[in-house]
Amino acid sequence: MTSRFPFVSSPSIDCLDPQIDWSRQSLTALLRSNIVPVADIQRITLFAENTDAQVAALDVQLKALNVQRAALVWRATAARSLLSPVRLLPDELLLHTFSFVSYDISSIPMRVASVCKRWHDVVYSAPSLWCNLRLPSCKVPLSIIDAWMERSLPMPLNMQLGLRSTPESRSIELVSKLPLYGRRIQTLRLSLRRHHFKAVNALPHDSFPALEALALDLDPFGSDSFGSPERLVTRAFAGSRMLRRLAFIMHTEAFHDVNQMLLDFPFAQITDAFIYSSPSMIFKFVQELKALRTAAFVTRRPLGQRSPFTELVDLPIDTLELQGTDYSEPFWILFSLPGFREFLCNLMHSLYSAGFSDLHSYLFDHSPLLDRVVRGSTSITRLVMRSMDEWLSVLDVVKGSPAFESIQVLKISVYEDLSLWPRFMEMLTYHPTSSVLPLFPRLQVVVFDIRLSRRQETEVERIDDSLAAMILSRWKVCPLVVCHYLWMGSVGRLTVREHFSAQLQSCFDDGLVMEGFA
């Protein structure tokens, strides 16, 4: 039937039956004759019905073919994914890659495992991927915590419990779980408010025998703890004989004696400490930390009258970082650190930070601390200043200090007006008492981190010229190895590259590594 009734374009249907005249003229004559062609109508109707049946059958076939085609395309796409290079990685290398994933979100292992079956098998067969547990909201059921711990066996645990926004009943449940896994906990961070202290105080003295790093973030006057009489008095860490790193963050001055908070705490073992608190609390910590080698002290502005400091602090610290304001300067001046090798300073004058812009007064008042720290050591190899003002203060006050002779790495961050830059470059170029010898004779690496946007190309060239002059002058006396020069602003970066390429080509040829221009 298909060959007898071929489909043609409308309106001509002459080819439907060659024995019948289907022309437009024939149809017009028929309509004018007023004769009803019953036989023709029946024949056409039957033909139309047969055509509908054929179309329906073809439509079913077309749908089936489309389904088959979609299945083939999906199969080909899925098979093509096997050609991905990541599929060729062995499980050991894939596991090593997973170990670099950030675990700030506690559900990361499950998310990675949901990618494909192979990743699922690798993740669930690797206890090392389950040894980090962070519960910031503490809404995870305790049964899931148990399953998590089961998968991490026998690896040591790194646990963070953020209990500040957690109801008291829930906090008690979570803290009560700690002794069950305490023998495997290697790193522990607790963020506590006052209503959590009771549960922590109830922990036994030998709760964490394998603990190596502890962080306590205390907010005794949280918005939900007013009127609570509870105080932190715990022996939970008395048996932590492997503890070496301590971070202590105190947001208020509610506590004044660390020995009354952390009973029988192994302070003498601590070699690495980060303490954020008032100067008086930091001073009491330092009196207990006799083996401290690496320290970062961040001071808050004390409430009321400042406590007098009269006792000299003598510690074997070799890396020291100070942050805060000069409210704590009477404390810092008492440091006796003849052997420290790295010094990072980010102190600000209290009036200067409060909005006063008397830079001369700032430098004058700030000098005694930096004078004492730099003069008190002859072994500093790495010196980092977060402010060019502090550098100028050091260079003005400590002229000819032997401490500069040992410095190999120098880093300066620039946040303020660049009008100080030429004087700063001049001081770095020559010794204050000599026009030939450099101020830092052993300097090998210099890092400039400028956090200001470039405004004009003339300023760009002025700053770049002074730095180029400093490098070229030092190159003749004591060659630098690395110069890292970074502008945070996007304007003028191409100019920097072209400018230095033109002026320091000889240094490039001799091996000076210039970084930070991309």
Residue 36 lies in a domain: yes
pLDDT band (50, 70, 90) for residue 19: low
* Distance in angstroms (rounded) separating the CA atoms of residues 315 and 253: 25
> Which residue type sits at 331?
F
The percentage of the chain sitting over the pLDDT mark of 70, rounded to a whole number, equals: 54
Higher-pLDDT residue of 171, 20? 171
- pLDDT for residue 61: 92
Written as six digits, the tokens of 118 are 């192979």
Residue 46 lies in a domain: yes
* Distance in angstroms (rounded) separating the CA atoms of residues 48 and 43: 9
What DSSP letter does each residue of 70-129 carry, written as one string?
Answer: HHHHHHHHHHHHTTSGGGGS-HHHHHHHHTTS--SSTTHHHHHHTS-HHHHHHHHT-GGG
Q: Sign of the C-alpha dihedral, residues 77, 78, 83, 85?
A: positive
**Whether residue 441 has a cis bond before it, omega within 30° of 0:** no
Residue 271 lies in a domain: no
Residue 169 lies in a domain: no
Across residues 41-55, what is the average pLDDT? 86
Residue 214 lies in a domain: no
* Distance in angstroms (rounded) separating the CA atoms of residues 211 and 426: 50
* Distance in angstroms (rounded) separating the CA atoms of residues 163 and 165: 6
Entry pTM: 0.67
Collapsed DSSP state (helix, strand, coil) of residue 497: helix
At residue 411, does pLDDT exceed 80?
A: no
At residue 471, does pLDDT exceed 50?
A: yes
Q: How many domains does the chain have?
A: 1
Lowest mean pLDDT among 17-21, 85-89, 157-161, 419-423: 17-21
* Distance in angstroms (rounded) separating the CA atoms of residues 168 and 200: 12
Residue 43 lies in a domain: yes
Residue 122 lies in a domain: no
Residue 49 lies in a domain: yes
Range of the domain at 63: 14-81
Q: Which single residue is written with the structure tokens 């004779």?
A: 441
- Secondary structure (H, E, C), 68-82: HHHHHHHHHHHHHHC
